[in-house]
């Protein structure tokens, strides 16, 4: 049965193209939710509206962390079981993942609504930004369970061999959001509330399409009893999704530290507190587009890696990882060139500002994103270990850049160089994380090469 599955037999470049392209598009669409809001809010409300979406952004990254915990963990367990020929176990994994995503999504929404003002202050909200941030997030919080269910389910759909359907789920919501944003902001004059309602409506459409797929899985047939609470499976799913999830949590933590540091050190500079806060949100969300491509490639490799590792085909495991790294490095180089050559043109898409606004935005983009060309290695490597069932090693790699290196540098370097120290922290952390990941993967790839060699008689 394993030999009949195309994951174990089809050429690797063809498999990567089949799974990664829809995954990339899905991740780009996911990034567009925030990008489109940022563009229309910047044009219709101004840079304080952009600052508000930046303050609210950590709540979205936490949503994605929950979705990755369940979606990546469920997909890895699903494909490992399929590769080993355990159909019934694969079926129960999907049922357990669905109960997890619904329960955690509803719990997260309630907690956000209850503690929203305190959370936004924690995320760096200033007095001038808070009214916009509260209005925007009160509404978008209603769609957070939908976002979690959609993203987690799309990972399972991709693992089942339907990457195009997964992509279409995400695309549907983005198209609806893009259409409704200008209508609600410029025609109905609802401001940031209009952008928020456009986002929620788009998320509802995507979620509905994803849920429709559940009774249509190709490799399994779900039963009612599969959706009963199964704590042991929940733990197994969480263990394999933890590295990807913690990477998102770490991004959230970094965002909180960065926002508060920018307002503090910005107030001591000619730029003030609001300009650094607004421009950093734009730069980080622009970088999220490049990261979305890399994460899409990483997610596209997950079913291929997990299935072949479960089937003992280690040469294919090594091959797909190396192929993904080469492709990601090329794409990252293109992103680096755009960030260095056209920073002002990119920032201008998100509204207007004075001379100081653009001066800091250009400086921020060129400096903070100087080492993006090698970020892909850390992302692909942490996901690799999760895909082969080694979550602890994947978790440690996922935390290298954000927690182990970047946060300490964000706290230390500004004490020496003020606002400029915040900008230099990212490229330094990126380089150290790259070296750490490369050395770790070199050891693991050698182990797999030796494991795949014929043993002496």
Query: Residue 76: what pLDDT?
Result: 86
What the block records as the tokens of 240 is 């394999």
Eight-state DSSP code of residue 270: T
| 4: confidence class by pLDDT, cuts 50, 70, 90 | low
- Residue partners of 206: CB distance under 8 A and separation at least 6: 146, 150, 169, 170, 172, 173
Listed range (158-167, 177-186, 436-445) with the worst mean pLDDT: 158-167
Per-residue pLDDT of 32-46, as tens digits, reads: 666 777 778 877 777
Q: With beta carbons less than 8 A apart as the criterion, state whether 146 and 33 touch.
A: no
Listed range (10-14, 43-47, 132-136, 371-375) with the worst mean pLDDT: 43-47
- Flag whether pLDDT at 71 surpasses 60: yes
Query: Residue 136: what pLDDT?
Result: 92
- The pTM score is 0.73
Query: Residue 392: what pLDDT?
Result: 84
Per-residue pLDDT of 289-339, as tens digits, reads: 898 899 889 988 988 998 899 888 999 999 999 999 999 999 999 999 999
- How many other C-beta atoms lie within 10 A of the C-beta of residue 341? 10
pLDDT above 90 covers a percentage of the chain that reads 47
Cα dihedral value 74, 76, 77, 80, nearest 10:
160
Query: Residue 450: what pLDDT?
Result: 86
Rounded Cα gap, residues 321 and 380, in angstroms: 8
Rounded Cα gap, residues 23 and 36, in angstroms: 20
Query: Residue 152: what pLDDT?
Result: 94
| 27: confidence class by pLDDT, cuts 50, 70, 90 | confident
- Residue partners of 268: CB distance under 8 A and separation at least 6: 418, 419
Residue 251 CA neighbour count, 13 Å, CB half: 24
Query: Residue 455: what pLDDT?
Result: 38
- Flag whether pLDDT at 16 surpasses 60: yes
- Flag whether pLDDT at 3 surpasses 50: no
Rounded Cα gap, residues 46 and 191, in angstroms: 10
Nearest Cα residue to 342 out of 361, 357, 368 = 361
DSSP string of 52-81, one letter each residue: HHHHHHHHHHHHHHHHHHHHHHHHHHHHHH
| 453: confidence class by pLDDT, cuts 50, 70, 90 | low
DSSP string of 157-197, one letter each residue: HHHTT-HHHHHHHHHHHHHHHHHHHHIIIIIS--HHHHHHH
Per-residue pLDDT of 214-273, as tens digits, reads: 998 988 888 888 888 888 899 999 988 887 788 788 878 888 899 889 989 998 999 988
Query: Residue 103: what pLDDT?
Result: 95
- Residue partners of 73: CB distance under 8 A and separation at least 6: 97, 236, 237, 238, 239, 240, 241, 242, 245, 386
Question: Region 96-117: what's the mean pLDDT?
Answer: 95
As a whole number, the mean pLDDT across the chain is 88
Query: Residue 390: what pLDDT?
Result: 85
Query: Residue 456: what pLDDT?
Result: 36
- Flag whether pLDDT at 192 surpasses 60: yes
């Amino acid at each position: 049965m394993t030999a009949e599955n195309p994951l174990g037999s089809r050429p690797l470049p063809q498999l990567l193209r089949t799974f990664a392209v829809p995954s990339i598009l899905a991740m780009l669409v996911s990034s567009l939710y925030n990008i489109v809001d940022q563009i229309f809010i910047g044009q219709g409300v101004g840079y304080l509206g952009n600052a508000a979406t930046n303050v609210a952004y950590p709540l979205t990254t936490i949503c994605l962390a929950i979705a990755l915990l369940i979606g990546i963990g469920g997909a890895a367990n699903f494909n490992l079981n399929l590769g080993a020929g355990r159909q019934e176990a694969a079926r129960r994994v999907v049922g357990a993942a669905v109960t997890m995503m619904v329960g955690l999504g509803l719990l997260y929404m309630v907690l956000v609504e209850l503690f929203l003002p305190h959370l936004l202050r924690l995320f760096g909200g200033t007095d001038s930004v808070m009214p916009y941030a509260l209005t925007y997030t009160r509404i978008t919080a209603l769609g957070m369970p939908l976002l979690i269910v959609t993203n987690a389910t799309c990972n399972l759909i991709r693992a089942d061999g339907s990457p195009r359907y997964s992509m279409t789920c995400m695309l549907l919501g983005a198209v609806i959001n893009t259409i409704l944003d200008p209508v609600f902001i410029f025609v109905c004059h609802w401001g940031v509330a209009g952008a928020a309602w456009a986002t929620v409506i788009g998320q509802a459409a995507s979620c509905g399409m994803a849920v429709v797929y559940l009774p249509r899985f190709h490799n399994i047939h779900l039963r009612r009893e599969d959706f009963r609470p199964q704590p042991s499976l929940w733990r197994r799913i969480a263990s394999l999704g933890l590295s990807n999830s913690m990477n998102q949590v770490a991004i959230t933590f970094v965002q909180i530290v960065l926002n508060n540091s920018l307002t503090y050190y910005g107030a001591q500079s000619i730029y003030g507190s609001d300009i650094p806060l607004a421009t950093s949100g734009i730069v980080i969300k622009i970088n999220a587009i490049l990261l979305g491509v890399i994460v899409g490639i990483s997610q596209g490799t997950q079913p291929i890696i997990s299935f072949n590792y479960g089937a003992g085909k280690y040469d294919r495991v090594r091959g797909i990882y190396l192929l993904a790294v080469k492709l990601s490095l090329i794409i990252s180089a293109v992103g680096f060139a755009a960030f260095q050559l056209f920073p002002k043109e990119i920032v201008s898409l998100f509204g207007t500002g004075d001379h100081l606004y653009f001066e800091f935005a250009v400086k921020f983009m060129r400096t903070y994103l100087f080492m993006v060309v090698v970020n892909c290695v850390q992302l692909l490597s942490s996901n690799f270990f999760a895909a082969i069932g080694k979550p602890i090693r994947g978790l440690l790699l996922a935390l290298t850049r954000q927690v182990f290196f970047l946060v300490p540098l964000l706290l230390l370097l500004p004490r020496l160089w003020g606002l400029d120290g915040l900008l230099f922290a990212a490229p330094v952390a990126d380089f150290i994380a790259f070296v750490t990941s490369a050395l770790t993967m070199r050891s693991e790839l050698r182990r797999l090469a030796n494991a795949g060699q014929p043993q002496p008689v």
